[in-house]
Amino acid sequence: MIGCDPQERGFFAAGRFGFAAVFFFVLAFFLVAAIVGKTTLAGVKSITGRLALLAAAALLFCCVSCVGAPSPGAPSVPPTTKPGMNLPPPGPVLLPIVQAGAPVLRARAEEVPAEKIPTPEFQQLVRTMIATMRAAPGVGLAAPQIGIPWRVIVLEDRAELVKNLTAEELRERERAPFETRVFVNPVLRLLGDDHAMFFEGCLSVKGYVGLVERSREVEVTGLDEHGEARTWHVTGWPARILQHEVDHLEGTLYVDRMKTRSFVTADQAKALYAGKPIADVRKALGL
């Protein structure tokens, strides 16, 4: 494209086209001056006058060549084709977590084509999901929770997130830290007949928790962030996290599954039930 880069306006902004125009104009000027100088340029007899005329004409030509160049606010051709120039920054970026009521949380998320996984855009999505989950902080996040309708979940449980739970609570929940896991297009199988009921919250239903009954044991299969096939067979708290996150990919929230009369603010739950065996909590709620 010929035109002025919006970042580089003015006389030289005409670039190569402008300089070529000046060059040909100078040639033409001297040819015309040599042939018909005595008549056409009769009113401009001095060398200085002729040079001034030449400069003015060249300036006018450069300005005309700028017409049609993009305005400063319009999209322009990138100044360089360096790889990665238009990609998001490589570091993790935090995104706001979508809250209940947003349609993306109620739609079935789409399968991710396997060829997408190695792309920089997808890798950036995974980094963003992990960073957003940690910053919340949370133990799991599904892509729809940051407004991306894809079947991707990330999970992680860290020691600092369970430091306020008693040893008995950890044992009862079968909860222990585990390293970051990423599942693309996960398929979940509920195993066995054992179930467990505990309070569950969601980063997309901020400030509340409710009792949800879940399978105690599950197996998930899917692809990891490198596109490798993975299977994870777990019991206890990770099984709960997996069920919660895979539910998100189907447009289901924990409030659809909870015992509604247990719905409570997180602060109230802490004040009323912290440290108590789940059997006592159920009894208090009549469940």
Instruction: Report, as residue numbers or ranges, the catalytic residues.
Output: 245
29 vs 198, which CB is nearer to Zn ion?
Answer: 198
- DSSP-assigned states of every residue in the chain: --S--TTS-SGGGGHHHHHHHHHHHHHHHHHHHHHHHHHHTTT--SHHHHHHHHHHHHHHHHHHHTTTPPPTTS----S---TTTTSPPSS----PPPPTT-GGGGSPPBPPPGGGTTSHHHHHHHHHHHHHHHHTT-SEEEGGGGT--BSEEEEEE-GGGSTTS-HHHHHHHT---EEEEEEEEEEEEEEEEEEEEEEEE-TTSTTEEEEEEEEEEEEEEEE-TTS-EEEEEEESHHHHHHHHHHHHHTT--GGGTS-GGG-EEHHHHHHHHTT--HHHHHHHHT-
Is residue 196 a contact point for Zn ion (CB under 5 A)? no
18 vs 186, which CB is nearer to Zn ion?
Answer: 186
CB of 266 vs Zn ion, minimal distance in Å? 13
CB of 213 vs Zn ion, minimal distance in Å? 16
The residue sitting closest to Zn ion, measured at its beta carbon, is 202
- Binding region for Zn ion (CB under 5 A) out of 59-67, 103-111, 167-175, 194-202: 194-202
- Binding region for Zn ion (CB under 5 A) out of 64-72, 89-97, 154-162, 200-208: 200-208
| Residues 73-102 interacting with Zn ion (rule: CB under 5 A) | none
CB of 158 vs Zn ion, minimal distance in Å? 17
116 vs 259, which CB is nearer to Zn ion?
Answer: 259
CB of 105 vs Zn ion, minimal distance in Å? 9
Is residue 105 a contact point for Zn ion (CB under 5 A)? no
22 vs 141, which CB is nearer to Zn ion?
Answer: 141
Is residue 184 a contact point for Zn ion (CB under 5 A)? no
Q: How far is 165 from 163, CA to CA, in rounded Å? A: 6
202 vs 211, which CB is nearer to Zn ion?
Answer: 202
Is residue 202 a contact point for Zn ion (CB under 5 A)? yes
Q: How far is 179 from 176, CA to CA, in rounded Å? A: 10
CB of 249 vs Zn ion, minimal distance in Å? 11
155 vs 202, which CB is nearer to Zn ion?
Answer: 202
Q: Are 218 and 246 in contact (CB under 8 A)?
A: no
Is residue 152 a contact point for Zn ion (CB under 5 A)? no
- Binding region for Zn ion (CB under 5 A) out of 166-174, 201-209, 213-221, 266-274: 201-209
CB of 257 vs Zn ion, minimal distance in Å? 11
The residue with tokens 């030289």 is 12
Is residue 109 a contact point for Zn ion (CB under 5 A)? no
Residues that bind Zn ion (CB under 5 A): 202
